[in-house]
């Protein structure tokens, strides 16, 4: 597993990270097994959120033997200081830690999200105070709206951005190109998510009966190895420092096994052609609203 710089954070991070959803609903033994496998394969960055079911509780127990040797990231969807403080205190307790190496405003989507978080009594006040106290070492955010991401980056010099770096969105809309350009200017770490997502689920039945029910959108199938690897290369080519797999262990382990090859052989025209052909098949099924309809643009 290659270890890569995460932007300007000074952190040296495994090229594929462990998303806490992997531990969700797996029981403690399942979580322990997956975390142990990740550690054995060189993964040193773990990301979780209160919105991931029982993941904080499971992951916190699984990481006890390894906490001092790994980076731990957490999030909040709360936009007001008092609500975020309650949630962060609970997260610290569940994860058996006295600090987070990275803490993120989670799922920033609307102008109201930004306005409230940065307003009087907003979450950013708390995060900055906790950063001064050493409870939060670095501060970032996650977003699925490029408009929201760009607005956030105007408001504060964030250490990281957790953002989709996906072939379909980039080919169809140029989605992510502005964030990637700002990364070069500002130097924040870019954690690329949704890289091996193919399309939206057709419906909840397709999702629940698939091998990847924890994934918000449909990943390429395991049999589509060439497409998966090409999509990983595409995300890296877009500027992602490291990649965040879709929820299930199967996707995580695949990306861990393939990441070194993806880094060793950069994106080729053959890879682009392969992805373009699949894009033409699925372009009418985008997997989330990228402008949310309420940003002035």
Neighbours of 26 (CB within 10 A): 19
Angle at 188 between CA 272 and CA 269, to 5 degrees: 10
Q: Measured at the alpha carbon of residue 22, what is the angle toward residues 38 and 290, in degrees to the nearest 5? A: 115
The pTM for the full model equals: 0.94
Structure tokens at 263: 């880094």
Query: What is the chain's alpha carbon radius of gyration, rounded to the nearest angstrom?
Result: 18
Q: What is the DSSP string of 269-288?
A: HHHHHHHHHHHHHHTT--SS
Return contacts of 272-276, CB within 8 angstroms, 24+ apart.
272/230, 272/234, 274/226, 274/227, 274/230, 275/167, 275/171, 275/227, 275/230, 275/231, 275/234, 276/171
What pLDDT is recorded for position 294?
Answer: 67
The residue assigned the tokens 């990364």 is: 183
DSSP secondary structure, 199-232, as one string: E--SSHHHHHTSS-TT-SSEEPPTT-HHHHHHHH
Asked whether the CA dihedral 93, 95, 101, 104 is positive or negative, the reply is negative
Report helix, strand or coil for 49: coil
Q: Compute the distance between CA of residue 123 and CA of residue 82 in angstroms, rounded to an integer.
A: 8
**What was the pLDDT predicted at 287?**
76
- 150-173: b or e for each residue (b if 16 or more CB lie within 10 Å)? ebbbeebebbbbbbbbbbbbbbee
Domain positions in the chain: 3-282
Pairwise CA distance, residues 161 & 148, whole Å: 11
Contacts of 218 (CB under 8 A, 6+ apart): 197, 198, 199, 200, 201, 206, 207, 210, 212, 287
Burial (0-12, 13-18, 19+ Cβ within 10 Å), 286: middle
pLDDT given at position 247: 84
pLDDT of residue 162: 97
CA-based torsion, 151, 140, 238, 46: positive or negative: negative
**Along the chain (297 residues), what's the average pLDDT of each consecutive run of 10 residues?**
95 97 96 98 97 95 97 97 97 97 95 94 97 98 94 96 95 92 95 94 91 91 94 97 94 96 95 95 78 59
pLDDT at 291: 64
Which residue bears the tokens 């894009």? Answer: 279
Q: Which CATH number fits domain 3-282: 3.40.640.10, 3.20.20.100, 3.10.20.30, 3.40.50.300?
A: 3.20.20.100
- Find, among 190, 128, 162, 148, the residue nearest to 49 by Cα: 162
Please give the Cα distance from 261 to 42 (Å, whole number).
15
């Amino acid at each position: 597993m290659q270890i890569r710089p995460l932007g300007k954070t000074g952190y040296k991070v495994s090229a594929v990270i462990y998303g806490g959803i992997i531990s969700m609903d797996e029981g403690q033994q399942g979580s322990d097994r997956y975390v142990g496998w990740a550690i054995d394969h060189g993964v040193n960055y773990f990301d979780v959120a209160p919105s991931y079911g029982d993941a904080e509780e499971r992951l916190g127990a699984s990481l006890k033997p390894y906490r001092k040797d790994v980076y731990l990231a957490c999030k909040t969807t709360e936009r007001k200081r008092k609500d975020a403080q309650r949630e962060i205190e609970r997260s610290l307790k569940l994860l058996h830690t006295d600090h987070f190496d990275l803490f993120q405003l989670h799922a920033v989507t609307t102008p109201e999200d930004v306005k409230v978080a940065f307003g009087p009594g907003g979450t950013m006040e708390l995060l900055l105070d906790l950063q001064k106290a050493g409870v939060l070492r670095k501060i970032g955010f996650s977003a699925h709206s490029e408009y929201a991401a760009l607005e956030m980056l105007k408001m504060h010099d964030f250490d990281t951005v957790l953002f989709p770096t996906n072939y379909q969105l980039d080919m169809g809309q140029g989605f992510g190109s502005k964030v990637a350009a700002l990364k070069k200017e500002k130097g924040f770490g870019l954690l690329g998510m949704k890289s091996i997502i193919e399309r939206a689920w057709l419906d909840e039945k397709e999702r629940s009966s698939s091998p990847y029910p924890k994934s918000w959108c449909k990943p390429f199938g395991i049999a589509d190895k060439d497409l998966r690897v090409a999509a990983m290369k595409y995300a890296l080519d877009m500027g992602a420092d490291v990649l965040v797999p879709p929820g299930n262990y199967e996707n995580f382990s695949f990306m861990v096994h393939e990441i070194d090859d993806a880094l060793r052989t950069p994106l080729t025209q053959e890879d682009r052609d392969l992805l373009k052909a699949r894009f033409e098949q699925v372009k009418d099924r985008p997997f989330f609203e990228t402008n949310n309809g309420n940003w002035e643009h």
